[in-house]
Structure 1
Amino acid sequence: MIYDVVVIGGGQAGLAMGYYLRKTSLSFVILDNNKSVGDAWRKRYDSLVLFTPRSYSSLPGLDLKGDPSGFPTKNEIADYLQQYAQTFDLPMQLKCEVIKVRKENDEYHIVTNDSIIRSKKVIIATGPFHTPRIPSFAKDLPKDIVQLHSSEYKNQAQLNKGSVLVVGGGNSGAQIAVELSDSYETYLSISHKIRFLPLSIGGKSFFWWCEKIGLLKASGDSFIGKKVKGQPDPIFGYELKEKIKNKKVHLKARTKSGRKNVIEFEDLSTLRVQNVIWATGFKKDYSWIDIPILFDGNGNIKHTKGVTESDGLYFLGLPWQNRRGSALLLGVGEDAEYLVKHLNL
């Protein structure tokens, strides 16, 4: 069988794509390496809470249940995604690892762990989070120091007694530092000035205001998009700010190196810790896509709103793919709808 469309990735982007594909006569399947829909969220740290309220955390066609102004947990989102796939009877092929994608004549061959799937068109919806980014000097630290990337961290039961250094100033690093500061001497290493934003203003979600001023739908080429794009992500909420003020979380400069049991920072200060959480983000990994035309000299994907130069191959769920919210639950649906219209041309 040759599918009309194969979607690679069964997270929020892939499911939103499936919702719109269900409205067409195209044959399709969604491939995902997890055992269950939503597992990518279930595997994240136990205390994870989204900074977008429920009213801005839904995919097209199905609202997330609960208080619209409240903030969902990671397990809520995982269960919601599973419900979403069931509600729209999306054709999922789970425990399916994609090893290679190549093009032969006018069709794509998707090599998986147990078969080769053929398709006229392919949508890569694997998102921006691939390989954990950990500095090379991490291997020089002694083995008795617990080191975990934020994607591996679940809860404090994994850690040694003593102090902990969280490296990275995004919202994950902030949440983890706040959580650990109640039980550990906690340090947060960050390379830029922290910008805090409120979760709500005047009784309205911060994202409600962003929608009103057009930020959520701002393209990267717009005036407001150029102002925001490339800036470090702000920290939503003021829990970390209070912890820093009360000296429960101690700020450190950018982490520069580590040797033996000493970590050195950009300001030349040093620290001995028993635990390190690398909240340092991810590197892109598209080595499994054997189609050179997709990438520029720096390995970045060449696309226009997710449409590539390789006829029939598309991306979905990339940061700033079309607008500020493209990689978020609240924005991926519009990009999926755009691609479906393009598929039918």
Structure 2
Amino acid sequence: MAAQREYDVLVIGGGQAGLAMGYHLQRRGVPFTIVDAGSEIGHVWRSRWDSLRLFTPAQYANLPGMQFPAPKDTYATRDQVADYLADYASHSALQVQSQTQITQLTKISTGFAAVSAGGQTLTARSVVVATGPFSKPYIPSITDELPADVVQLHTSQYRNPGQVPSGRVLVVGGGNSGFQIAAELADAGRQVELSEGRRNACVPQRLAGKDIFWWQHQLGLLRVTADSRLGRLMAANDGIVIGSSRQDLRSRGVTLRPRTTAVNGSEVLYANGSSSTVDAVIWATGFRLDDSWIRIPGALDINGRLLQRRGTVKNVNALYTLGRAWQHTTGSALLGFVQHDAAWLAEQITARTASQKV
């Protein structure tokens, strides 16, 4: 049996949220450890497609205590982000225990017990779930109905056009990923169609010479709270495509289609009654939170997601979460803004830790 290890605070997830959490706990003198399922820091970023770039300009991509090493108003590649996270951990003296996937979290008398895929048990008085918003790729069940000779990739598997055969490629999903990948495939000479289930608003990367994030920052839109009237309205209409447009896709030769509704062999049917025969499908259908490994009564809602408010989990003392979309504000899941939620949670954990030692 693997040895049991005990901690004051266990941070599950060594990405941007977990590292920001570690920084703030370290500054407050709270003992903690960070564990991560990946083989190295930044592995999630390195696993995305080759040409991926941040929409956030470098000046808005900082974690606490270390600026992002890129010129102002430039947009980092996926590898630059991964390198930054690794350098940040080293610069901040944050140790991350890699290749430690937590498969079960339960409540015990002294706090929590986390069991890893390798059979190790880690106990802690407090736990921060910092696994991020992209834990489980979402692929519609319709995929099972396509024939085996139609190549299918989720965006989590897509790397570059070399994976996609010649012929007609359908990209399903009208978010940023769908638009970017459709444009890349079209530029690579593929015959591309983009199916949008939801018609998201398209906004330019820059307005009147300023980046869209500059405008959001100046107008306070990145600090809008989830429980405010404006926050609820923004969260309900959170799909925005930045730096691309339908006109741009059409100019590249991309055919726009409405929602995908069914398939008949390699023929895909759309909501307006039209159809097309495809040779490959890229599922840009996003991710879903997966909290099923948290086995604590009262911690999850009816959809199996953590019940939380500003990162504190309802009904479960000393259990927290960090880095989720709209956890507290518009920017809660963004690289350069997760630090604010991390600082607030670190204060709560510090106060709790101090009270336990009295």
Distance 2:22 2:168 in 1: 45
1:251 to 2:262 alignment: no
Distance 1:119 1:248 in 2: 55
Match of 1:72 among 60, 72, 76: 76
Report the Cα offset of residue 310 of structure 1: 0.8
Superposition pairs of residues 58-137 of structure 1, within 5 angstroms: 58-114=62-118, 115-137=120-142
Distance 2:64 2:174 in 1: 31
Match of 2:265 among 260, 263, 268: 260
Report the Cα offset of residue 297 of structure 1: 2.2
Give the secondary-structure state (helix, strand or coil) at the position aligned to 1:257: strand
User: What is the match of residue 305 of structure 2?
Assistant: 300
Distance 1:241 1:123 in 2: 43
Does the 8 Å CA contact 2:7/2:123 hold for their aligned counterparts? yes
User: What is the match of residue 46 of structure 2?
Assistant: 42
User: What is the match of residue 191 of structure 1?
Assistant: 197
Distance 2:135 2:274 in 1: 32
Distance 2:126 2:292 in 1: 19
Give the secondary-structure state (helix, strand or coil) at the position aligned to 1:293: coil
Distance 2:150 2:324 in 1: 35
Report the Cα offset of residue 302 of structure 1: 1.4
After alignment, is 21-30 or 120-129 more displaced? 21-30
Please identify runs of 4+ aligned residues in structure 1 that moved more than 4 A: none
Report the TM-score, using the length of structure 2 for normalisation: 0.93
Q: Which amino acid aligns with 1:7?
A: V
Q: Deviations over 1:185-215 (max 9, x none)?
A: 1100002334111211222211111011111
Give the secondary-structure state (helix, strand or coil) at the position aligned to 1:29: strand
Runs (5+) with no aligned partner, structure 2? 352-358
Report the Cα offset of residue 170 of structure 1: 0.8
Q: Deviations over 1:241-282 (max 9, x none)?
A: 3222x2611100101111311111111111101110000011
Does the 8 Å CA contact 1:13/1:125 hold for their aligned counterparts? yes
Cα RMSD for the two superposed structures: 1.3
Superposition pairs of residues 207-246 of structure 1, within 5 angstroms: 207-238=213-244, 241-244=247-250, 246=251
After alignment, is 231-240 or 17-26 more displaced? 231-240
Match of 1:271 among 263, 269, 276: 276
After alignment, is 29-38 or 293-302 more displaced? 293-302
Does the 8 Å CA contact 2:196/2:258 hold for their aligned counterparts? yes
Does the 8 Å CA contact 2:174/2:199 hold for their aligned counterparts? no
User: What is the match of residue 143 of structure 2?
Assistant: 138
Does the 8 Å CA contact 1:137/1:259 hold for their aligned counterparts? no
User: What is the match of residue 340 of structure 1?
Assistant: 346
Give the secondary-structure state (helix, strand or coil) at the position aligned to 2:179: helix
Report the Cα offset of residue 232 of structure 1: 4.2
Identity %: 40
Distance 2:231 2:46 in 1: 32
Match of 2:163 among 158, 165, 174: 158
Q: Which amino acid aligns with 1:314?
A: Y
Give the secondary-structure state (helix, strand or coil) at the position aligned to 2:305: coil
Report the Cα offset of residue 240 of structure 1: 5.0
Runs (5+) with no aligned partner, structure 1? none
Distance 2:8 2:252 in 1: 58
Residues matched between the structures, number: 344
